Amino acid sequence: MTAVIETEALTKSYGPHRGIVDVDLLVDEREVFGFLGPNGAGKTTTIRTVLDLIRPTSGRALVFGIDSSVDPVAIHRRVGYIPGEFTLYDRLTGRQTIEYFANLRGGVDKAYQASLIERFDVDPSRKFKEYSKGNKQKVGLVIALQHRPELLILDEPTSGLDPLVQQSFYALVREASAEGRTVFLSSHILSEVERTCDRVAIIRDGRIIKIDRVDALRDLAHHQVELRFVDGVPVAEFEALPGVSEVVVDDHTLRMRVSGAITPVVRAAARYELLDFVSREPSLEETFLAQYGQEAVKTSRS
Amino acid sequence: MTADIGRVPSSAGRTPLTLWSRVYGFGSVFAKTLRDSRLAIIIVAGLLAGLMLSSGAAFGEAYSTVASRADLANLVANLPPAMTGIYGNPFPVMIETLGGSIAWKTGASIGLIAALWSVLALSATLAAEARRGSMELVAVTPLGLRRIALEKLAAHLTAMAIVVVVVAASTWLAGAAFATLPGDEIPLESAVGFGAWVGLVALASGSVAFALAPIVGRGASAGIAGAVLVGGYFLNGYQASVPAFAGVANLTWFGWTVHHQPLTGQPDWTSLAVVAIVPAILFALGVEAFARRDLGSTSRIPWPGFPEALIGLRGPMSRSFGERLPLALAWGLGVGIFGFIMGAAARSFGEELANISPATLDIIQAVFPNIDLASGAGAFLQLVFVEFGFILAGFAAATFVAGWASDETSGRLEMLLTTPMARARWAIAAGLGVFGAIALFTALLATGIGLGAAIGGGDVVTPILGTVVLGLYGLALAGIGLAVGGIVRTSIAGEAVAAVVIVTFLIALVAPALKLPDWVYQLALTAHLGQPMVGIWDPAGMVACLVLAVVGLGLSGWGLSRRDVAA
């Protein structure tokens, strides 16, 4: 596969403020790549550096094999982008705003543009200042998508969208992927990444702490296992099993956290008479929780 | 099931305000509003103080003898009413004194400018914030809508108080620095009386906008209040020449205070007290309207928009021009009307001066040897308009540059620069849009001056060409602002231009008066622009303006290409 985005030890320092440190990313062609992290973790800084809106302190970012600091215009020609927060021209209508950006790019398929406006249910006759937050976001999405870019860089794209429009957006992401385009989706909405992305990178405090397939991340994560015994609980036997931790006994019930393969626990449990065996597959949210701890998840939700 | 979470002490969780928060303006709605007004305060106070001091200096220099003063008094007394009221003061008194002259020629203009600022500020302070949504966040704090409105109002009142103090101080200073004959001194209480009039007239006008803004929104309230203000100003100014105006003029605060002449020792404090009732009532109505109506909900007044061809959707240059277009029209029409009135008044002024006071004509000719008032409108415009015109052109450029900067300061630039457009291209193309706005402003101003000059008599072409020099000055200042915005950061670009305007004006004003070395005076760009309204060109200065504009534009592109784009 060809790398569409590749960063090598990408670092951006803001003096005393944290930026990003040694970020190494590799996003392949046709991939839907999730970029997950709480607010302030460095997601937007990474994106802005990749797009040459800010310059790296060290390291480099390549998009389509082009160094972002060397020829950003060549990159931008092939990219569609929606920032996490943006404002446009108050006095222009939605249609005029979309048309202006189409003019800046050139070669926009008007029929496709119209279909996007329809799919996102945008009223293009209203002035931008009169739009709600969600409708402004829709206009931004049309601008990002209307030229059928090879690479979509979307920074928290569903912010403010109602569930129906979110579904339209997810469908468009799937279509883009099916058409061979690449999507880089920054989000702190775990379910969004889980349902949309092939792979995910988790960033915390400006550093990438995990990159893997969404499925693999889930597999790598712990299982919460709960065994209810008829008789006494053989705590020591289960504590000695590989990957078992946080063992808690409550009367005839044994609860534990199991990292990695769950097979040893199943085999051990099979030797006893059980009233119940519950193993819960962790959600990505719980994976995230395990990586970040409760405090980080709270931060990401705030 | 119920849960008792206990009673939280009222003082719990209340963060003590740091000194830094208080000083920097984050301690309250009042302080934040005042902080946001700092540039406007500097511009308005600087402009009004400059106007006052330049009027004083010009009078002190031109009328330094008893005979010349007598001639001037005779001239003004014999002017036709249409001329007398041209400056907004239809009943000049003690014109032979410095205070009387300032009160007649500049006083009403100072009140008008302060009032325009108040209208713009008070129409926006609540409505604009409600429209952009930030008011909702403030409104859900435990402050309450009335208190928010009152704090914002208090901030404007404080800003106006600062301006009034500066106006009063500069009035007193003009009397102290430029008095050449007995009776020229302006006592402090007179200066205060004049400052109080400026503040009250301004607040009365602004209060109309403040009361209407929660109901009809920012633009409509500013438009209505502006119409009331400008209409009142002209009705009052021309009530002596058009008796039909007198009745209506007496309904305006300009009419109520027409005999308040503190600079000539004839204050009318009662009329000021009456004027003070207007803002008191309208401010109360505005606060109540804001508190009782749905937040941000306004009634729309139908208004025609610009044709789509002028909005500018083709590229960054046309978009930048389209964004600046309403402001360029406002500046161009406003200053153009002023230029038209000045130009149209030229013949009457020149003829009266020649008939009534040849000695005054001789004095003016001696002080300004290149200006022959009998030659037509250009000379009059050079004498009374150009200096003010440079200031206005400079401030117009400052607002255009601030608009250019808003692409980055508002966050739009991030989306624009992820299209296939290099940073330098955006900076230069959008900068050219700013230049286009200055060209439009200059064209409208030239039209006003040309029409006025045609009425005023004499050569029409030279004043029109002279207006181009004002446009070149505006281009030069815009170039400086663009360079600052590109290299340093755009958020200070407009302020940088405004600062250059004020510093240039002060150098040109103070250096000769204080007999500073000539090189100090030469630092002012306006010292190198000749006397354009009478056809005396200074090619070096004009070329310097063009160079500043072009180099500044180039530097903006170069600078932006080398730095991070603000988030």
Q: Which residue, of B305, B339, B374, is where some domain finishes?
A: B305
Task: Answer yes or no: do B400 and B281 share one domain.
Answer: no
- Is residue B382 located within the same domain as residue B243? no
Tell whether B323 and B440 lie within a shared domain: yes
Task: Render pLDDT for B183-205 as a digit per residue (tens, 0 to 9).
Answer: 898 999 999 999 999 999 999 99
How close does chain B come to A160, measured CA to CA in Å?
A: 14
| Dist CA B391 CA A217 (whole Å) | 65
| Count of alpha carbons within 13 angstroms of residue B77, beta-carbon side | 12
Q: Are residues B529 and B445 in the same domain?
A: yes
Q: Give me the numbers of helices (H) and strands (E) for chain B, helices first please.
A: 26, 0
Domains of chain A and any CATH numbers: 3-217 (3.40.50.300), 222-281 (3.30.70)
Confidence of residue B2 (pLDDT cuts 50, 70, 90): very low
Under 8 Å between Cβ of B204 and B275 = yes
Token duo for residue B548: 């500043």
* Secondary structure of residue B436 in the 3-state scheme: helix
- Same domain, residue pair B414 and B542: yes
Q: What is the pLDDT of residue B149?
A: 94
Long-range contact set of residues B70-79: C-beta below 8 Å, sequence gap at least 24: B70/B96, B71/B356, B71/B357, B71/B359, B71/B360, B72/B96, B72/B101, B72/B357, B72/B360, B74/B356, B74/B357, B75/B352, B75/B353, B75/B356, B75/B357, B75/B360, B76/B104, B78/B352, B78/B356, B79/B348, B79/B349, B79/B352
Mean pLDDT, chain B, rounded, equals 87
Whether residue B430 is contained in a domain is answered as yes
pLDDT greater than 50 at residue A302:
no
- Report in angstroms the alpha-carbon separations of B172 from B41, B192, B267: 20, 8, 16
Give the closest-approach CA distance of B416 to chain A in angstroms: 8
d(CA B336, CA B319): 25
d(CA A221, CA A226): 16
Q: pLDDT tens, B396-442?
A: 999 999 999 999 988 899 999 999 999 999 999 999 999 999 999 99
Inter-residue contact B92 to B76 (CB < 8 Å):
yes
Whether B281 and B150 share a structural domain: yes
Average pLDDT, integer, range B128-134: 75
Domain check: are B270 and B357 in the same one? no
On whether both B201 and B114 belong to a single domain, the answer is: yes
Q: Is A140 on the interface with B (CB under 8 A)?
A: yes
In angstroms, the separation between the Cα of residue B63 and the nearest Cα of chain A is: 51
Count other C-beta atoms under 10 Å from residue A260's C-beta.
14
Instruction: Give the β-pairing of A3-14 and A58-63.
Output: antiparallel
> B363 and B241: one domain?
no
Whether the CB of B567 is below 8 Å from some CB of chain A: the reply is: yes
The two three-digit tokens of residue B141, written as one number: 């704090």
The 10s digit of each residue's pLDDT in B12-41 is 445 566 666 666 666 788 988 898 888 889
Written as six digits, the tokens of B309 are 């061809």
Q: Which residues 514-553 of chain B have a CB within 8 Å of chain A?
A: none
My answer on whether B282 and B409 are in the same domain is no
Neighbours of A28 (CB within 10 A): 15
Cβ–Cβ of B411/A83 closer than 8 Å? yes
pLDDT tens track for B312-328 = 999 999 999 999 999 99
Domain count along chain B:
2
Cα B256 from Cα B260, distance rounded (Å): 9
Q: Tell whether B185 is covered by a domain.
A: yes
* In a domain? residue B7: no
Q: Rounded mean pLDDT of chain A?
A: 88
> Is residue B71 included in any domain, yes or no?
yes
Q: Specify the higher pLDDT residue, B8 or A251.
A: A251
**What's chain B's length in residues?**
567
Shared domain check, B385 and B238: no
User: Which of B305, B337, B362 is the last residue in one of the domains?
Assistant: B305
Mean pLDDT of B134-158: 88
Residue B203: domain span: 24-305
- Rounded to an integer, what distance in angstroms lies between the CA atom of residue B51 and that of residue B214? 34
CB contact under 8 A, B315 and A103: yes
Does residue B3 belong to any structural domain of this protein? no
DSSP letters for B290-302: HHHSPTT--PPPP
CA of B267: how far to CAs of B63, B64, B264, B354, in Å? Answer: 25, 26, 8, 33
Q: Using alpha carbons, select from B339, B369, B374, B535 the residue that is nearest to residue B458.
A: B374
Domain termination residue (choose one: B238, B271, B305): B305
* Residue B149 burial class via C-beta count within 10 angstroms: exposed 0-12, middle 13-18, buried 19 and up: buried
Asked if B542 and B473 sit in the same domain, the reply is yes
Res. B238: pLDDT tops 60:
yes
Facing A86 at nearest CB: one of B323, B415, B422: B415
A129/B415 CB distance under 8 A: no
Q: pLDDT at position B387, please?
A: 85
Q: How many CB atoms lie within 10 A of CB A277?
A: 13
Confidence of residue A187 (pLDDT cuts 50, 70, 90): confident
